[in-house]
Structure 1
């Protein structure tokens, strides 16, 4: 009866102490979140179309690249998701974190081991009160027993460690989503870069052909004695210059194609992107509310989970100042003869540690626990600052994307006018040159202006496509129950 009361009292005491957790209560730090994006206020109708944010990290990102209506891009994204090595490495890191979480969670349960074997020993004569030369042969003791060990969760030390490991695993999951989203965006931007270079290559092919025709015209006029050799030399220079610039574009395209192959997890020698000049990309991407970034962005989610893990580790460091209770026991059989080992009379048990004590209380450690607690608190403050910086960076990236798309749209309209004017000027200069009313320098300047303005227009198309990808990435990826509608060109 006395033993039962002792066990009951000990159990109740353990429950009370387990409830005295010393881990600080975790609260997400406040951040300054604006009511609306500065750029989004210029398009309130688009903002209203955005779906209100939902808690978020478990939600599928969706195939956001489908809004571009590009079948080649769709195939590239599928290949990258299945073969990219960085994504596989991120998945492996996530698996490691989840395995570590299960490892730490195992401390909630007792450990049970079984063993069998002999012990050969000889105690000293002095320890047994025998004469120095008394007969004292060694003895053999056979044991077959099961040992049990369990650490009571006093002051929440074990729970805090589990909370920290759980937050670490959740952080790794968010980082995996971040790597996945970054890969999707990188593939899209590499694809649009190649298509932009294809458009430049097509432009230079037309320019080379036009300058070849001009060179033939100048050659005929020179042969007829109507012009000097100076005009002929200038025509040849412009023709060679266009060929050189065309080869430079080809070189840049080859490098971009090789980079895309690596993103797809393929060697560059086995990948070739079919030429497809880029058309103008016009998307209206609603930005929604700034608060949605705190739920949608995987990098912000990772930073928040890092804070939670650091807060839990403050609890682990605090619990080190309090006693630890470890319950142990061994149950089994022991005998000096192996034949008698499993006899009922050979049974034995031990309650309590074989070495040390059940309850241990730290007294002096030279300031080690104080240093570890200070380190844990400083790590938490660091993660708080990182979280707030991640939020600020996210706001900046969205504002950059929104302003970039708006200004690029306006710039494209102005650039179209510049291209039309340059083409008209070039047409007039060629007519006047044929009639002898203008010099060849006027033709050269007009042709150069056309090429320059068309290259600028192609570059703007590429920048708009890549800016759209960057904005979608800044917003945390795809969205549900909302679509990006084509905007008027």
Structure 2
């Protein structure tokens, strides 16, 4: 006697026999040439360039990298931004969306169960055996449907969704790192403007004192009115420049408030001059540190998702097996619906088509396959370009910090020399050897050199932040 296999046994047997038929390409991270050392390090050590594969490690902790600046106010602002910035919250919401889509894709691995009840009213044809009878049929049924993933279509969609979720998480980390850097940049901009404002405030005070002195000397006939007019012009110019600095600071403060998730009217930062920035970020950073950059990790995950979608597109060329069935009760009389004699069932594929395969679709499947392959090629190129951009940014940061440090030392000498020249010019003017115009020129040179020194210090702070951002956050892995 032949024993029949149940539907579940048939489905399980087919799944086991065909489980090795997945047609999607196996994912391999695109090869990228990454130097073992930066150009700045090789310039000083003569190190030979070596190459290795990229191994993104964006999940490594970066810590509170801004603490290297040793500024409690900056620490507080960064904490506020992490709690309240709306762009960061939007990025977090995108992560949750991607995770939900991953769960949706994962649901395809499991059967779908349904249940329903209700009446149907139908009339048969006059040519049918029932002779055009009209009847009401009551049903209470449960249904099951399941796609046997013969060629990896469902698995490929799940792989793509998983890679998309990881990419969303990496992009969230990228937004967070960008926000932290933007807060630090905005803060140092404000501090630089505060230093410039103090510089111009001192200049206005000195110019006012000089004007008072010259007006006194003019009244006693010691000098002519020309020197007084020039002093008044210099005082007005200094006041105008001070007002321009105040305008720039107000705009910068508003921008920082936005980063903190606050309205500009509710935020005010106390005035404090920028302290000297002298952070030693080593030029010999290992190139593997770039692998922690979240934007590179996001680009690599996009490649993985595109590769998985090639598998899904390729699986469409192969047969699709869908198992369906229903079990329940049906009766023409509602009172008889739950009787055992009213039971009914339908086994879909065993009674109809078991495997389905479109024979002609006008090239739709092939075009989808071509699109998936082209998208993969695009994402590979973008991934490699993101690595190149990252190394350019690090090289820019290292060279900028080095050259700014040298320029700052030279500028300090210029400030000291200009200050000494101004002192000598005032002595000569008091002795009647030179005109007041030369004194004004000497003071203007001091102001210009001090202003350049303040700007250089601000540039060094900004360059340090950009470099730390370029290497993916902090650089100490110990």
Residues 378-402 of structure 1 show CA distances to partners (whole Å, capped at 9, x for unaligned) of 0000000000000000000000111
User: 2:19 — aligned with what?
Assistant: 18
CA distance change for structure 1 residues 144 and 480 in 2, over 3 Å: closer, same or farther? farther
User: 1:60 — aligned with what?
Assistant: 61
Q: Bigger shift: 165-174 or 34-43?
A: 34-43
CA distance change for structure 1 residues 338 and 203 in 2, over 3 Å: closer, same or farther? same
Residues 227-273 of structure 1 show CA distances to partners (whole Å, capped at 9, x for unaligned) of 21111110100010000000000000000000000000000000000
Q: Bigger shift: 392-401 or 348-357?
A: 348-357
Q: How many pairs were matched up?
A: 468
SS at match of 1:476: coil
User: 1:161 — aligned with what?
Assistant: 157
CA distance change for structure 1 residues 7 and 236 in 2, over 3 Å: closer, same or farther? closer
The separation in 2 between residues aligned to 1:7 and 1:83, in whole angstroms, is 53
List structure 1 segments (4+ residues) > 6 angstroms apart after TM superposition: none
User: 1:72 — aligned with what?
Assistant: 73
Contact 1:40/1:402 (8 A) holds in 2? no
1:297 pairs with 2:296: no
Residues 140-184 of structure 1 show CA distances to partners (whole Å, capped at 9, x for unaligned) of 111111000000001111000000000000000000000000000
Gaps of 5+ in 2: 46-53
The separation in 2 between residues aligned to 1:7 and 1:260, in whole angstroms, is 63
User: 1:114 — aligned with what?
Assistant: 115
Contact 1:142/1:337 (8 A) holds in 2? yes
User: 1:376, CA displacement in angstroms?
Assistant: 0.3
User: 2:266 — aligned with what?
Assistant: 270
> Over aligned residue pairs, what C-alpha RMSD do you find?
1.8
Contact 2:296/2:386 (8 A) holds in 1? yes
Candidates 454, 461, 474, aligned match of 2:470: 474
User: 1:485 — aligned with what?
Assistant: none
SS at match of 1:327: strand
User: 1:56, CA displacement in angstroms?
Assistant: 2.4
SS at match of 2:318: coil
The separation in 2 between residues aligned to 1:375 and 1:281, in whole angstroms, is 51
SS at match of 1:147: strand
Candidates 297, 305, 309, aligned match of 1:309: 305
Contact 2:57/2:297 (8 A) holds in 1? no
The separation in 2 between residues aligned to 1:302 and 1:21, in whole angstroms, is 26
SS at match of 1:284: coil
1:286 pairs with 2:302: no
The separation in 1 between residues aligned to 2:43 and 2:210, in whole angstroms, is 48
Residues 88-122 of structure 1 show CA distances to partners (whole Å, capped at 9, x for unaligned) of 11011111011011011100000000001111111
User: 2:139 — aligned with what?
Assistant: 143
User: 1:339, CA displacement in angstroms?
Assistant: 0.9
CA distance change for structure 1 residues 5 and 115 in 2, over 3 Å: closer, same or farther? closer
CA distance change for structure 1 residues 14 and 238 in 2, over 3 Å: closer, same or farther? same
User: 1:359, CA displacement in angstroms?
Assistant: 1.3
Candidates 242, 248, 272, aligned match of 2:238: 242
User: 1:127, CA displacement in angstroms?
Assistant: 2.4
User: 1:456 — aligned with what?
Assistant: 452
SS at match of 1:139: strand
Residues 32-55 of structure 1 show CA distances to partners (whole Å, capped at 9, x for unaligned) of 2112101134577xxxxxxxx996
SS at match of 1:357: coil
User: 1:49 — aligned with what?
Assistant: none
Gaps of 5+ in 1: 45-52, 131-135, 483-489
Residues 187-233 of structure 1 show CA distances to partners (whole Å, capped at 9, x for unaligned) of 00000000000000000011111111111121122112122111111
The separation in 2 between residues aligned to 1:355 and 1:225, in whole angstroms, is 120
SS at match of 2:39: coil
CA distance change for structure 1 residues 352 and 73 in 2, over 3 Å: closer, same or farther? same
The separation in 1 between residues aligned to 2:6 and 2:337, in whole angstroms, is 33
SS at match of 2:272: coil
User: 1:48 — aligned with what?
Assistant: none
The separation in 2 between residues aligned to 1:55 and 1:202, in whole angstroms, is 46
Q: TM-score, normalised by structure 1?
A: 0.93
Q: Bigger shift: 342-351 or 103-112?
A: 342-351
User: 1:3, CA displacement in angstroms?
Assistant: 2.0
1:370-409 correspondence to structure 2 within 5 Å: 370-409=366-405
1:74-223 correspondence to structure 2 within 5 Å: 74-128=75-129, 130=131, 136-223=132-219
User: 1:10, CA displacement in angstroms?
Assistant: 5.3
1:429-444 correspondence to structure 2 within 5 Å: 429-444=425-440
Contact 1:208/1:239 (8 A) holds in 2? yes
Q: Bigger shift: 305-314 or 5-14?
A: 5-14
Contact 2:177/2:469 (8 A) holds in 1? yes
User: 1:124, CA displacement in angstroms?
Assistant: 1.1
User: 1:128, CA displacement in angstroms?
Assistant: 2.3
The separation in 2 between residues aligned to 1:331 and 1:19, in whole angstroms, is 32
